[in-house]
Amino acid sequence: MTRTHCPYCALQCGTRLEVSPQGLTVSPDEDFPVNAGRLCLKGWTAARVLAAPDRLTSPLMRPRPGTAQRPVSWETALDHVGAELRRIVRAHGPDAVAVFGGGGLTNEKAYTLGKFARVALGTSQIDYNGRFCMSSAAAAGSAAFGLDRGLPFPVTDLASADVVLLAGANVAETMPPLMQHLAGADLIVVDPRRSATAERAALHLSPAPGTDLALALGLLHAAVVEGHLDHDYVAQRTSGFDEAWRRAAEWWPERTERVTGVPVADQFAAVRMLAAAKRSYVLTGRGAEQHSKGTDTVSAYINLALALGMPGREGSGYGCLTGQGNGQGGREHGQKADQLPGYRRITDPAARAHVAGVWGVDPGDLPGAGPSGYELLDSLGRPGGPRALLVFGSNPVVSAPAARGIAERLAALDLLVVADFVPSETVRTADVVLPVTQWAEEDGTMTNLEGRVLRRRRAIDPPPGVRSDLWVLRELAVRLGQPGERFPDDPGDVFAELRRASAGGLADYSGIEPEYLGSTMDAVDAAGPAGPAYWPYPAGGTPTPRLFLERFAHDDGRARFRAVGHRDAAELPDGTYPLHATTGRVLAQYQSGAQTRRVPESMEADGEAFVEVHPDTARRNGLTEGRLARVVSRRGATVARVRTVASLRTDTVFLPFHFPGAGRANLITNPALDPVSRMPEFKVCAVRLEPLGTGATTGSGEL
Ligand SMILES: Nc1nc2c(c(=O)[nH]1)N[C@H]1C(S)=C(S)[C@@H](COP(=O)(O)OP(=O)(O)OC[C@H]3O[C@@H](n4cnc5c(=O)[nH]c(N)nc54)[C@H](O)[C@@H]3O)O[C@H]1N2
Ligand SMILES: Nc1nc2c(c(=O)[nH]1)N[C@H]1C(S)=C(S)[C@@H](COP(=O)(O)OP(=O)(O)OC[C@H]3O[C@@H](n4cnc5c(=O)[nH]c(N)nc54)[C@H](O)[C@@H]3O)O[C@H]1N2
Ligand code: SF4
Ligand SMILES: [Mo]
């Protein structure tokens, strides 16, 4: 039996793996407090992907552009990539090669990928899919608290809450085992849909997509006029209230109702519930964050929490529910365009000097900050843009906004290299495919949504022909002229180096002893000598399960209100595109679906693109339950099966983004970016609906 963690979401449920002649079975780890014996469908069935019939087991290459991918030896594939990268860098400079990473990569992989880009390639052009996920909450959290850790408290603290406000988070589907910790609380759920989570709420607020910022300002207004402002806390622990209040003062309840659709009475009910609770939390998810004003929206929710005196108090607080398995650690160790390991800024001379010292290079040789995820993808193959791209841990053909344009950009490259374990839609467009190991076949560390560093453990051998991401990066680095020892492929060695690189940074891992990684040591996750490894955990210090109890991380120790005002979504409904479309997730599928579309149980539960439509809206547009519709925006059209949902707003439709081909929700999404976080507006665009004949297909059955 091997104790490890689920390969999917940020909850990182503890699992126990048993190997038998029939294969690997997964069961929940009763002793891991985050999931306490539960798993969702994806966790139970995770082993299916290890044995996927179309698992990649050999490198693939196209003999010539336009021809089919064919199996080749590792040597051939790596030599070809090395030679092409050297040619492109020689002809066009290091920024002609770009790297796109993922929040599912272990800490060791994310760290090595960032180092590979900056040192072996010398490129500034690296970013990752966390830009599509966490970046707005990270920006707002850093601005408010001086430090951004998804949940600044253990997830089990939620169990003693009286009231929890969930803004744009559908945890009943996206992190089902988390619901057990919310069972004792009254939930206030903010979601345009009556989601599975909203079904369990004491109060459901249903704003139009893209109006959360007005709603959060209105809630602050209601809290203050009702006399709920925590004057002592605001005076002692915060700064900037007056400026923030001046903006919120304009959001009297009737105006808030007019813009958001949330009734005045419900606004007051929400703030009364929060104010009356002894222990309460505000949590945000992607519904509030994935907007062209996501940073300001999260700031407005944080302002509300600060006004009520919640953050930095035991039993209360603000948190963001991170998304991907290593969404937290993935953003701390250097695959983000503007960051170096330890959550350091790449523009900070002291940070550059420290990290360059660990890497054994000259700080002056490290590139500066590159463009953000969408901007990077959108620049590929354009004049002056990158000519080659290496992808590790993302499937942007399905998951990037305005996906048709991104597929065109990928096709315009001289060289697309993708490391993956299944033939994702992005793998299928690649010039070179590198088959890599999966979770149960590898060791490493992951950092879950509460900032707790966990051990991923190897339980089985990978199929012959498959190599680890770390091995691939070392082999490529050597072909680019690097000494092999600079790029270790043993996760324990990488972790030891990561500890040094992170030492003194905001996300300091240096106190996490290397023996935690040893195969005999039963866990960073169960408990090290000083308890579970919540960062910051400096060498010689102790882990930090709860941040901010005494002071916030700004120099003056205070949390900062941010003065924010409402603005509209980048695109509003009009005569031609009269409806809001929003996108999100269903329980059985994960992200671009590359993994879960290979799991029969997931396909049975939800195997095809669909669109949720109010029955009246369906009727007005000639749509019938169970038939196909075309959902059309200014970027393009997607095909989806109609599901009529009477609880939905009549002005809004919802599409999951897990499906490929003609059923990709991202064919219609708007790549309008948040000015601070550069997060695209996945959660709202304007569309119209058209019925489709019976001959049409969503293309979702294809893998
Ligand atoms: N089953 C499953 N679980 C997952 C994932 C998955 O793909 N599948 N992915 C993981 C990852 S990476 C992430 S980031 C998390 C995401 O977890 P969540 O944030 O919970 O997931 P979403 O479904 O994207 O969005 C949540 C809700 O936001 C609502 N929403 C849409 N527009 C708005 C709006 O304008 N305002 C508000 N308040 N709400 C709005 C949607 O209706 C939806 O119910 O899930 C993680 N867990
Ligand atoms: N419309 C719409 N679009 C969205 C969102 C939305 O809400 N609406 N949400 C956005 C969010 S929050 C996210 S996080 C993104 C996620 O979208 P993607 O970045 O596409 O994430 P995945 O589908 O998880 O893709 C991960 C790929 O990497 C592979 N992989 C997994 N682990 C590893 C590994 O360790 N090494 C390597 N080499 N490969 C690996 C998987 O097989 C898969 O092909 O989608 C974003 N796109
Ligand atoms: S909730 Fe997340 S971590 Fe837990 S079993 Fe489901 S996908 Fe895996
Ligand atoms: Mo995400």
Q: 137 in ligand 1 pocket by Cβ < 6 Å?
A: no
Tell how far the Cα of 62 is from the centroid of ligand 4, in angstroms.
Answer: 32
Residue 502 in tokens: 């992170």
Q: What percent of the chain has pLDDT over 70?
A: 97
pLDDT (mean) for 634-648: 98
Nearest protein CA to atom 1 of ligand 3, as residue: 175
Q: 537 in ligand 3 pocket by Cβ < 6 Å?
A: no
Please name the helix (run of DSSP H) or strand (run of DSSP E) that holds residue 580, with its range, or none.
Answer: strand 579-584
pLDDT (mean) for 156-172: 98
Q: Distance between CA atoms of 113 and 126, rounded to whole angstroms? A: 9
Give the pLDDT of residue 699.
63
Give the pLDDT of residue 516.
61
pLDDT tens readout for residues 466-502: 999 999 999 999 999 999 999 999 999 999 999 999 9
Q: 8 in ligand 3 pocket by Cβ < 6 Å?
A: yes
CATH of 60-132+326-516, one of 2.60.120.200, 3.40.50.740, 3.30.160.100, 3.20.20.80: 3.40.50.740
Nearest protein CA to atom 11 of ligand 1, as residue: 323
pLDDT (mean) for 170-195: 98
Nearest ligand, CA of residue 174? 1
Q: 102 in ligand 2 pocket by Cβ < 6 Å?
A: yes
SS (H, E, C) 501-512: HHCCCCCCCCCC
Environment class of residue 636 by beta-carbon count within 10 Å: exposed (0-12), middle (13-18) or buried (19+)?
Answer: middle
Q: Which atom of ligand 1 is nearest to the CA of 588?
A: 1
Q: Distance between CA atoms of 568 and 589, rounded to whole angstroms? A: 31
Domain boundaries, the chain: 2-50, 60-132+326-516, 135-321, 579-691
Give the pLDDT of residue 695.
63
CATH annotation of 135-321: 3.40.228.10
Residue 514 has pLDDT above 70, yes or no: no
pLDDT (mean) for 422-451: 97
Category of 213 on φ-ψ map: left (φ > 0), alpha (ψ -120 to 50) or beta = alpha
Give the pLDDT of residue 522.
44
Give pairs for 497-500: CB < 8 Å, separation 24+. 497/111, 497/358, 498/107, 498/108, 498/111, 498/333, 498/341, 499/539, 500/358
Q: Which atom of ligand 3 is nearest to the CA of 175?
A: 1
CATH annotation of 579-691: 2.40.40.20
pLDDT tens readout for residues 87-131: 999 999 999 999 999 999 999 999 999 999 999 999 999 999 999
Beta-carbon neighbour count of residue 63 at 10 Å?
10
Please name the helix (run of DSSP H) or strand (run of DSSP E) that holds residue 50, with its range, or none.
Answer: helix 47-50
pLDDT (mean) for 409-424: 98
Q: 219 in ligand 3 pocket by Cβ < 6 Å?
A: no
Please choose from 40, 134, 213, 286 the residue to mutate so as to test ligand 1's pocket, defined by most ligand atoms within 8 A of CB.
286
The confidence band for 524, taking pLDDT boundaries of 50, 70 and 90, is: very low
In DSSP notation, 636-657 reads EEEEEEEEE-TTS-TTEEEEES
pLDDT (mean) for 419-438: 98
- Give the chain's radius of gyration (CA, Å): 24
Q: Any idea what DSSP says for residue 634?
A: T
Nearest protein CA to atom 4 of ligand 2, as residue: 399
pLDDT (mean) for 338-353: 97
Tell how far the Cα of 130 is from the centroid of ligand 2, in angstroms.
Answer: 9
Q: 420 in ligand 2 pocket by Cβ < 6 Å?
A: yes
Place of tokens 């964050």: 289
Residue 561 has pLDDT above 80, yes or no: yes
Q: What percent of the chain has pLDDT over 90?
A: 93
Please choose from 4, 5, 9 the residue to mutate so as to test ligand 3's pocket, defined by most ligand atoms within 8 A of CB.
9
Nearest ligand, CA of residue 473? 2
Residues 6+ apart with CB under 8 A from 137: 148, 150, 284, 289, 294, 298, 320
Tell how far the Cα of 436 is from the centroid of ligand 2, in angstroms.
Answer: 16
- Quick one: which of 44, 49, 74 has its CA closest to 61? 74
pLDDT (mean) for 444-470: 95
pLDDT (mean) for 581-598: 98
Residue 634 has pLDDT above 60, yes or no: yes
Does pTM surpass 0.95? yes
Nearest protein CA to atom 5 of ligand 3, as residue: 43
The confidence band for 513, taking pLDDT boundaries of 50, 70 and 90, is: confident
pLDDT (mean) for 371-380: 98
The confidence band for 529, taking pLDDT boundaries of 50, 70 and 90, is: low
Exposure string of 442-457, with b = 16+ CB inside 10 Å and e = fewer, is bbbbbbbbbbbbbbbb
Give the pLDDT of residue 52.
97
Residue 559 has pLDDT above 60, yes or no: yes
Give the pLDDT of residue 668.
98
Mean pLDDT over all residues of the chain? 95
Q: 591 in ligand 1 pocket by Cβ < 6 Å?
A: yes
Nearest ligand, CA of residue 52? 2
pLDDT tens readout for residues 34-59: 999 999 999 999 999 999 999 999 99
Nearest protein CA to atom 2 of ligand 3, as residue: 9
Judge contact between 447 and 455, C-beta under 8 A.
Answer: no
Residue 702 has pLDDT above 80, yes or no: no
pLDDT tens readout for residues 223-250: 999 999 999 999 999 999 999 999 999 9
Residue 694 has pLDDT above 70, yes or no: no
CATH annotation of 2-50: 2.20.25.90
Q: 628 in ligand 1 pocket by Cβ < 6 Å?
A: no
Residue 621 has pLDDT above 60, yes or no: yes
- Quick one: which of 113, 658, 701, 118 has its CA closest to 419? 113
The confidence band for 64, taking pLDDT boundaries of 50, 70 and 90, is: confident
Q: Distance between CA atoms of 652 and 631, rounded to whole angstroms? A: 12
pLDDT tens readout for residues 184-228: 999 999 999 999 999 999 999 999 999 999 999 999 999 999 999
